[in-house]
Amino acid sequence: MAEMAQMRRVQPVVTGDVLYHASSRRILQDVVTCIREGCTIDEAGSRLERYADRHLKTPQEMARLFRDYPEAVARTVEIAERCTFKLSDLTYQYPDELEQEGEGYEAEFAERAFKQLEGLGS
């Protein structure tokens, strides 16, 4: 990747290819994979992540992992410091178009969910 970045004249960054915040949450990722694939954990086999290292790592661990690319680590830190996003900035607005006349959102959602579940059984 570093060679590709150099060939394209872009500044490289490092990532951990993160799927979950802590290694203890890998099982949740496996469950999500099974839901997406429509299978059980026992049936999932090679569809599950091969390694359990797709969690957030400490800055020290990232520096160690990418010690041969200190400029990429520095660029990543620079980008992260410019990010101002906070979870508290998020608000959820349920879409108005789902509500059918005379029904609440919950009834509409339940009806759609049951229709999807019925389709899984066939």
To which H or E segment does residue 75 belong? helix 70-82
pTM of the model: 0.61
Q: Which residues contact 75 (CB under 8 A, 6 or more apart)?
A: 11, 12, 13
Q: Using CA atoms, how far apart are residues 49 and 55, in angstroms rounded to an integer?
A: 12
Q: What is the pLDDT of residue 98?
A: 52
Residue 20's SS3 state is strand
The per-residue pLDDT string of the chain (122 residues; one tens digit each, 9 = 90 and over) reads 888 888 999 999 999 899 999 999 999 999 999 999 999 999 999 999 988 899 999 999 999 999 999 999 999 999 999 988 888 888 877 666 555 566 677 787 788 888 888 776 65
Instruction: Give how far the C-alpha of residue 89 lies from the chain's centroid of Cα atoms, to the nearest Å.
Output: 19
DSSP 45: G
Q: Using CA atoms, how far apart are residues 114 and 25, in angstroms rounded to an integer?
A: 29
Q: What is the pLDDT of residue 74?
A: 95
Q: Using CA atoms, how far apart are residues 74 and 71, in angstroms rounded to an integer?
A: 5
